[in-house]
Structure 1
Amino acid sequence: MCVGPRCTAEEGRAQAVFERMGEMIDAHPDLAVKRTRTHCMVACKFEGPVLVVYPEGTWYQRVDEAAAARIVAEHLVAGREVADLVFHRLGSGDTCVPEPK
């Protein structure tokens, strides 16, 4: 997940969402997820913060605390992407399409 600084008007908001998301993930002890942060991914056009879930390569935008809760519950726990928050999928519009498995 990116933590800004350009994607949000309120300084520190993205970092706070990142930290809260860690608590949400930790609430599921059987969930094997590596969470990491980065600065700007230059993909949001001010629609951030942006969060990417791999290995699927699902890119989410406008990730606030409510969106993070949905991504944890629906995507990470239940295995279903949160379609209304997705703005890009790996292999869709990419210049380098991954090899089929």
Structure 2
Amino acid sequence: METSGPVVYIVDDDEAVSRSIAMLCGSVGIGARTYATAQEFLADLDNLRGGAIVLDMRLPGINGLDLQQRLRDRGVHTPVIIVTGYGEVPDAVR
């Protein structure tokens, strides 16, 4: 769902998870865009307009933490929420 307001960008290779988060956003009137890979999201980065980014920690290619660092290096200050089905203390600390 797209709106003229902020958008939640969902980067997750699990289509069911992406779809669920997008539906949740839509249910409260927030737009959502989904991406299956970090590379796909980076290719669309110029279209980023406010909102927030939801990143899966374990993505094929570039993982969520590395993507967050790349965004930071590019000066992107959009809030990031990292989600994962795997709870590992070293990753949480990082």
Higher helix share: 2
Give TM-score scaled by structure 2 length: 0.33
Q: TM-score, normalised by structure 1?
A: 0.32
Q: Which has the higher strand share?
A: 2
